[in-house]
Chain A
Amino acid sequence: MKALHVILFAAVLGNAGDYDFDLDAIEVKPYTLSGYLKGENKLQGLNEDSPLFHTKNKESMKSYGSEGDVKFAYFQDAIKLDSEVMVNYNDVDGEYSDAYTIAQLFVQYKFDQNNLIEVGKKAPKWGKGYFVNPIAFFDRKKDPNDPDASREGYVMANYRYNKSYDGDVRNVSLDLIVMQSNDHMNSDFSQEEQNHVGFKAYFLAYDTDIDLIYYHRSEQSDKIGLDFSKNVQANIEVHGEFAKTLGADDYAYLVGLKYLTEFELSITSEYFYQKNQSSKSEPFYDHQYFMNKFSQKEPFDWLYGSLYYKNIYNLEDKSMQNSFGATYSFKNNMLLDISYNMNDGQIGSEYGSKLVQDTLWTKLYWYF
């Protein structure tokens, strides 16, 4: 045992010092409110070999940024209003910009414990992969620098049926998504003005999460997808995704695993392949990548701290991005994250062409 500890379970309200309960925290309210404020600073060395170097023509630059994210939900009987708003202010090398985004705003109505409908702007977040999700047909792409970050949704209607059972199939959930893209709504989702219908069937069968997906588009080819996730041992999880465009030689898949060692080193490894390249402006545009994240909780008995290393390797052009970082959680709901990030590769390769060669990135979060 690396620390002497006492775990106390106090299930009864009392007035005994440590065993006091904050009554305000346990009072049932008709709403929830949470979020964070983030301040960040980047010191960046620029890549002379980048085709974008002429836009800066200097060795380095500094950036400052701040971000606010507020989540608010209100409950009234069978109705819930859910929202998320993001505000960003950025100063990138002296160029100022700001953005106000309603990431999510939808109403949920529960007909009964098995049936509900949600209408509004939301992100379904389909898929089991950590770095990338080939089957996330109704989501924006993840930011490879922060795959866990919130993403802006699209306007849609989502009906869900959910039922639990005893036996080898413990749960079945069916989702139906209906969405439209045109000049006035979801204009950045699809270049075609069309209707989109997605159907997802989820099963918890034999201790395995399984999703089967069918995606219909009125002006383009339909797509199918499937994913799975399972603990093969208590400390090893495996997952995978497969997506294919029907009637075309176009498919993508991902396989990965998560492994937790006895000394709490967490390893996430994934391999991603896609038959056809996507747009170079998108993350993971090339054919195949190997991605890894190593995270060590409280190394050398450094309480509430962690060290991490991330690597994204383009197997086609042998270029890569490496990140070395550390986080520390303060007691007053603050989190500090400092990392050093490097892009490496030959001239013309994906990471070798990036304008930024390396970054010292400092982020400070305050949660409320």
Chain B
Amino acid sequence: MKKIILFLLTTLALFGAESILEQVDKKLSPSSADSYKKLINIEPDGSKKEFLLYQIKKGKDKIVSLFLQPDSEKGRSTLRLDENMWLYLPDVGKPIRITSMQSVVGGVFNNSDIMQLDFSAEYDIKSQTDEGATIVLDLKAKNDTVAYDKLLMEVDKKTVTPTATL
């Protein structure tokens, strides 16, 4: 009887509680928000290239980004709706369908870095390891449309925010 009660309580705890990944998502950005983001690309030789973009997010599956700087990228925008992604180039004058692995500007980050859906929408927690002040999450992509198949995320226990992602 005690074993059955313990099993039921554990099950409730697992399914009822918010996963640590969902907590991280809430901390990183609210479910709907607009923000300005600055991306700094630092190359091995120390040189930098900066990109400024304006981003609007609604719910878990809708994101639009508009590049404001540098001038060579100004007016370029991307729209994500679930697994669909489009790029708008001012010279082309119409949206074209792109892949999540494609980079719409120079540099090492790709569209999924800019237009990331919530981690909990794209990844399952394969395992988690307690490292004292942090928890290391071993994440596996839910399907092959996700840009990165695997991620290792180090989460600070106190702030519930990622301190490193590999």
Contacts and interface: CB of A to CB of B under 8 A. Distances in A.
Nearest to B81: A170
7 nearest A-B residue pairs (beta carbon): A367-B72, A125-B94, A333-B71, A333-B72, A234-B145, A11-B35, A5-B108
B38 A19 contact: yes
Given A260-B101, A335-B72, A3 B43 contact: yes
Contacts of B49: 304, 331
Interface in B64-100: 68-72, 74-75, 81-84, 89-94, 96-100
Contact of B97 (A1, A11, A229): A229
A297 B109 CA distance: 13
Interface in B89-125: 89-94, 96-103, 106-109, 113
Contact of A231 (B70, B83, B107): B83
Interface string A13-53: 00000110110011000001010000000000000000000
Interface in A312-345: 329, 331, 333-335
B113 A234 contact: no
B97 A209 contact: yes
B18 interface: no
Interface in A68-121: 69, 71
Nearest to B49: A331
Interface string A216-245: 000000000000011101111101000000
A303 interface: yes
Nearest to A5: B108
Contact of A264 (B91, B97, B103, B145): B103
Contacts of A248: none
Chain A CB count within 10 A is highest, among B90, B96, B97, B113, for B97
B44 A4 contact: yes
Contacts of A18: 40, 48
B41 interface: yes
B157 interface: no
A254 interface: no
A204 B102 contact: no
Contacts of A303: 43, 106
A125 B93 contact: yes
A228 B27 CA distance: 39
B contacts with A: majority SS:
loop
A300 interface: no
B43 A5 contact: yes
Interface string B136-166: 0000000011110000000000000000000
Given A8-B39, A18-B40, A335-B72, A304 B90 contact: no
Interface residues of A, number: 56
A73 to B, nearest CB: 10
Interface string B23-60: 00000000000011111111110011100101000000
Given A335-B72, A367-B71, A6 B42 contact: yes
A34 B84 contact: no
B36 A11 contact: yes
Interface residues of B, number: 49
Contact of A235 (B72, B89, B96, B101): B101
Contacts of A329: 72, 106
Nearest to B41: A5
B145 to A, nearest CB: 5
Given A7-B113, A10-B37, A26 B101 contact: no
A244 B38 CA distance: 48
B49 to A, nearest CB: 6
Contacts of A7: 39-41, 109, 113
25 contacts: A3-B43, A5-B43, A7-B39, A7-B40, A10-B38, A18-B48, A21-B38, A21-B52, A22-B52, A22-B69, A32-B75, A34-B75, A123-B93, A128-B97, A148-B89, A170-B84, A233-B145, A234-B101, A234-B145, A235-B101, A237-B97, A260-B99, A260-B101, A297-B103, A334-B72
Contacts of B93: 123, 125, 150
Given A148-B92, A207-B82, A231-B84, A26 B68 contact: yes
Interface string A124-159: 010010000000000000000000111000000000
B82 to A, nearest CB: 7
A21 B101 contact: no
A151 B37 CA distance: 32
B27 to A, nearest CB: 12
A99 B49 CA distance: 36
Contacts of A331: 47, 49, 70
Contacts of A235: 99, 101
A94 B102 CA distance: 43
Contacts of B100: 234
Nearest to A264: B103
A8 B164 CA distance: 11
